[in-house]
Amino acid sequence: MKHESTDQTKWYCDKCQRELELAKVKVKYMEGNFEVDLMKCPSCNQVFIDETLALGKMKEVEEGLEDK
């Protein structure tokens, strides 16, 4: 589920005032546990999920797991 948003380079973490970095992030849903590469703040760990990812690939995986 690796995801690089088209405009994510422009975003930074407002809390830590740091640029986002691509990192391995754990995601969980129902019985599923994965590690995926997502943009996040290296300091506070806030993970950036844009609309395309949330309503596209992420939703697809959610639905796939729900039907397991």
Q: State the residues that interact with another protein by CB under 8 A.
A: 7, 10-15, 20, 25-30, 38, 40, 44-51, 54-55, 58-59, 61-64, 66-68
CB closer to another protein, 2 vs 51: 51
Number of Cα atoms under 13 Å in the Cβ half of residue 61: 16
Burial code (b: 16+ CB inside 10 Å, e: under 16) for 1-26 equals eebebeebeeeebeeeeeebeeeebe
| Cβ at position 4, least distance to another protein in Å | 15
Query: Which residue lies nearer to another protein by CB, 15 or 22?
Result: 15
